[in-house]
Amino acid sequence: MTPDGHSELGAIVLAGGRSTRMGTPKALLDWHGAPLVRRVTGLLARVASPVVVVHAAGQELPSLPGVELVVDEHPGRGPLEGIAAGMRALRGRCDAAFVSSVDVPLLHPRFVRSVAGALNGHDVALPVADGHNHPLSAAYRISLLEVVERLLAEDRLRPAFLFDESSVRRLENGEIDEPGSLRNLNTPEDYAAALAEPEPQIEVEAFGTLRERLGFSRTTVPAATVGHAVERLDGLAELLPHTLVALNGERFHADPQTPLVAGDRLSVLTAEAGG
């Protein structure tokens, strides 16, 4: 991000879909300790800023720290309307946006980084799996907004129309990191299968006096959220709030719904940092 707040990559999460086949709002489905919309926005925030959630008017959403909310004024007209609403919010603030659906519990920040990294002069970086485009796991230049708005005015609502009029870099499975990120949930059966997936293994390192208190210096726990990691480390919950939990050596996270992915490292240390 530049000093004036301009960033290379923002993110747009389309959360306002009708979830017809699922039968219940997908944004609120829990996946191992956090609603999907919390999980997806939290993971995107690691690699993109700002993160915008486009939702339907009146739609119930959980607390989403640091996330901007935008109403889709034309619900029911497909993803291009949501993309346009998100791009309007991001215009002038970033060069490109990763657009994501809300139903991707296995999303990994490395996947987002590799897709966005493939833009490289193109208008769209579009993952393709088994012959299918994945327009809601793709990166778009914000400069496409004019084209998107024209297509909407012409009632040409499918993303394929946008791809016809832009420079698209198609990404096959082997070209992107963490392709499992593409797995989305449309039916209760899909959701049940995703819930049956194990939580990611998280490496945890304790420092200082906490090593003795917690009985380890390094360990691993299965945890999809910081909250689950804390619960599964015997004795840690009682030591809060004199304890800090840092994710990957960067930010501190007290929100138990902060999402975790495979390869993450948590550092647990005493809160008193002085010296």
Partner 1 sequence: MSTIGGGFGRYLRVDLDRGVAEPVSIPDGVRRAFIGGAGLGAWLLTSAETAGEPVAFVFSPLVGTPLTTSAKFAVVARSPLTGLLNDALASSHFALQGKMTGHDAIVLVGTAPEPSVVVIDADGTSLEPAGDLWGLPAAEAEQRLRDRLGKGYRAAAIGPAGEALVPFATVSHDGRHAGRGGHGAVLGSKNVKAVAVRGRMRVPLADPDRVMELAADLRTRSFGPATEKYRELGTLANLLAFNALNTLPTRNFQAASFEDAAALSAEQAADLKQRTRHYCASCTIGCGHIYEAGNGNGARLEYENAFALGPLCGVGDPAAVIEASRRCDELGIDTISAGGTIAFAMECAERGLLDAPWLRFGSGEALLRALDEIGSGEGIGPLLRMGSRRLAQQLGGDAPSFAPHVKGMELPGYEPRTLQSMAVGLAVNARGADHNRSGAYEADFSQRVDRLHGGSASVAAAIDTEDNAALIDSMILCKFLRGVFTDARIEWATLLNAVTGCNYDAEELGEVAERIVTTKKLFNVSHGWTPDTDTLPDRFLDEPLETAAGTTVTLPRERLAAMVREYNLRRGWDEQGYPQVEAKDLVPA
Contacts with partner 1, 149-188, as mask; x by CB under 8 A: ----------------------------------------
Span from 21-29, 153-161, 169-177, 247-255 in contact with partner 1 (CB under 8 A): 247-255
Q: Provide the H-helix boundaries in 184-270.
A: 188-195, 210-214, 226-232, 236-239
Under rule CB under 8 A, residue 246 binds partner 1: yes
Cα 121 to Cα 133: distance, rounded to the nearest angstrom: 20
Strand pairing category for 137-141 and 218-222: unpaired
Longest dimension (CA), the chain: 66
Cβ distance to partner 1 smaller for residue 4 or 155: 4
Cβ distance to partner 1 smaller for residue 71 or 246: 246
Among 122, 170, 211, 232, binds partner 1 (CB under 8 A): 211
Phi/psi of residue 252, each to 5°? Answer: -95, 145
Under rule CB under 8 A, residue 275 binds partner 1: yes
Residue with structure tokens 């088994």? 130
Cβ distance to partner 1 smaller for residue 166 or 270: 270
Span from 122-130, 156-164, 190-198, 250-258 in contact with partner 1 (CB under 8 A): 250-258
Q: Are 172 and 89 a contacting pair, CB within 8 Å? A: no
Among 23, 207, 220, 234, binds partner 1 (CB under 8 A): 207
Give the side-chain half-sphere CA count within 13 A for 66. 18
Neighbour count for residue 21 (Cβ, 10 Å): 12
Q: Pick the closest to residue 26 from 133, 122, 123, 101 (CA basis).
A: 101
Span from 21-29, 159-167, 184-192, 243-251 in contact with partner 1 (CB under 8 A): 243-251
Q: Are 236 and 226 a contacting pair, CB within 8 Å? A: no
Among 76, 188, 208, 235, binds partner 1 (CB under 8 A): 208
Under rule CB under 8 A, residue 63 binds partner 1: no
What's the gap between Cα 246 and its chain centre? 19
| Count of residues near partner 1 by CB under 8 A | 30
- Give residues in contact with partner 1 (CB under 8 A): 1-4, 205, 207-209, 211, 217, 239, 242, 244, 246, 248-255, 267, 269-275
